[in-house]
Amino acid sequence: MARAPRNKTIQILHAEESSLRDGLQKVTERVGEIEPLLDKTIHGDCTHVLPLLPDGFADLIVVDPPYNIDKRFKQVRFRSMSDDAYEQWLEGWMGELCAKLKPTGSIYVCCDWKSSCAVSRVLSRHVTILNRITWQREKGRGAKSNWKNSMEDIWFGVRTPEQYYFDLDSVKQKRRVLAPYKTDDTPRGWQQTEGGKFRLTCPSNFWDDITVPYWSMPENTEHPTQKPEKLVAKLILASCPEGGVVLDPFVGSGTSSVVARKLGRRYVGIELDEHYCLVAEKRLQRALEDRSIQGYSGGVFWERNTMLEQKRVCRKK
Ligand SMILES: C[S@@+](CC[C@H](N)C(=O)[O-])C[C@H]1O[C@@H](n2cnc3c(N)ncnc32)[C@H](O)[C@@H]1O
């Protein structure tokens, strides 16, 4: 079927499968040093792969596991289970995963309302939890006799609360000033630019400025639960120094690895479904030429729609 001209969804052509497959890694025995696996996508089950990797190499771990719902990925199917069974499933790999953190490292775990309690209980056994981010993701199916599910939690934990890495300045948000206040004709904490009056603000733990990837966005893939690059960019900029290593054990379409590459970090991604490994590889190749991240420009995160407006003003001049 012909695609709409504006449809930018990344697809894998049969002709490119073999060369993309060549870039994948298999890990079947214990690895002494992480170096040969840096900037690689490992095709495998993370519960088998993690015990084979060395400890203490990751500055940041981004975890987006299957939530406790029935979900069909390409070849992988996840079946919902009781809350207790899901907690046990998380416990089965969380300790091994947290051992991969450097002493200064951080971990973020994504979940929905249903799995959030289990995630926080399990995570708190292995790291110190410092916060929970709520992401209002807008998109979500309406229910006939329930509230539409349109938010997710992202739990933030660190290995050592006294010495973890966190770069607040890199994740400040550029917001339009509603009541520009001046003393002696000098703006108080805001700047006048060509596009309007803006203030750089500290990011909170409520994120409502990030859209789920959709068909006309260049980052979009056929993965059913792909995370937005802008969301992962915030995590990486705040919690991984330049040149540091990002580990994602459920990397799916490769978002964490792609954003790590775009922002000058190293990465290790693990994914069970081969098709998504190939999608990740294709996105990673594109990231070598195009490092742009929608919603992040000039070193700042822009409030929704303000970046476009700013561009329009500059174009008119
Ligand atoms: C919620 S999705 C992650 C989506 C990803 N954040 C992205 O932006 O594309 C979870 C992924 O975990 C994969 N998966 C499920 N069980 C796995 C396992 N045991 N080891 C590795 N990957 C697994 C699924 O195939 C799926 O792609």
Residue found under tokens 């000039």: 298
Out of 113-117, 151-155, 186-190, 223-227, pick the least confident. Answer: 186-190
Tell me which amino acid residue 157 is: G
pLDDT of residue 153: 98
Q: Whose CA is nearest to atom 16 of ligand 1?
A: 272
Q: Show me where the domains of the chain are located.
A: 19-167+204-295
pLDDT of residue 317: 47
Residue 236's contacts (CB-CB under 8 Å, 6 or more residues apart) are 60, 62, 246, 256, 259, 260, 263, 265
- The 3-state DSSP class for residue 257 equals helix
Query: pLDDT tens digits for 93-135?
Result: 999 999 999 999 999 999 999 999 999 999 999 999 999 999 9
pLDDT of residue 201: 87
Pocket perturbation via mutation, ligand 1, pick of 42, 135, 250 by most ligand atoms within 8 A of CB: 250
**What average pLDDT is seen over the chain?**
92
The pocket around ligand 1, CB under 6 angstroms, is made up of 45-47, 64, 66, 73, 76, 223, 225-227, 250, 252-253, 255, 270-273, 276
Asked if residue 267 lies in contact with residue 247, where contact means CB atoms within 8 angstroms, the answer is yes
CB atoms within 10 A of CB 43: 23
pLDDT-based confidence at 313, cuts 50/70/90? Answer: very low
C-alpha to C-alpha distance for 14 and 256, rounded to whole angstroms: 25
Task: Identify the residue with better confidence: 159 or 187.
Answer: 159
Q: How does DSSP assign 272-300, residue by residue?
A: S-HHHHHHHHHHHHHHHH---BTTEETTE
Task: Identify the residue with better confidence: 254 or 198.
Answer: 254
Check pLDDT > 50 for residue 314: no
Q: What percent of the chain has pLDDT over 70?
A: 95
Check pLDDT > 60 for residue 310: no
C-alpha to C-alpha distance for 193 and 197, rounded to whole angstroms: 6
Helix H or strand E encompassing 267? strand 266-271
Query: Helix/strand/coil (H, E, C) string of 161-214?
Result: CCCCCCCHHHHCEEEECCCCCEECCEECCCEEECCEEEEEECCCCEECCCCCCC
Check pLDDT > 50 for residue 41: yes
Query: pLDDT tens digits for 5-31?
Result: 889 899 999 999 999 999 999 999 999
Out of 147-156, 184-193, 264-273, pick the least confident. Answer: 184-193
Check pLDDT > 50 for residue 285: yes
Mean predicted confidence (pLDDT) in 290-311: 77
pLDDT of residue 299: 87
Distance (angstroms) between ligand 1 centre and the Cα of 105 equals 22
What are residue 196's DSSP bridge partners?
Answer: 193
Atom of ligand 1 nearest to the CA of 227: 8
Mean predicted confidence (pLDDT) in 288-301: 91
Out of 8-17, 189-198, 199-208, 307-316, pick the least confident. Answer: 307-316
C-alpha to C-alpha distance for 52 and 96, rounded to whole angstroms: 10
122-145 burial, b at 16+ Cβ within 10 Å, e below that, comes to bbeebbebeebbebebeeeeeeee
Distance set, CA 53 to CA 157, 187, 246 (Å)? 21, 53, 14
Using alpha carbons, select from 88, 49, 90, 86 the residue that is nearest to residue 69.
Answer: 86
CATH code for the structural domain at 19-167+204-295: 3.40.50.150
pTM of the model: 0.93
Asked if residue 283 lies in contact with residue 221, where contact means CB atoms within 8 angstroms, the answer is yes
Task: Identify the residue with better confidence: 313 or 211.
Answer: 211
Backbone angles phi, psi at 297, to 5 degrees: -155, 145
Distance (angstroms) between ligand 1 centre and the Cα of 38 equals 19
Out of 195-209, 254-268, 301-315, pick the least confident. Answer: 301-315
Pocket perturbation via mutation, ligand 1, pick of 271, 282, 283 by most ligand atoms within 8 A of CB: 271
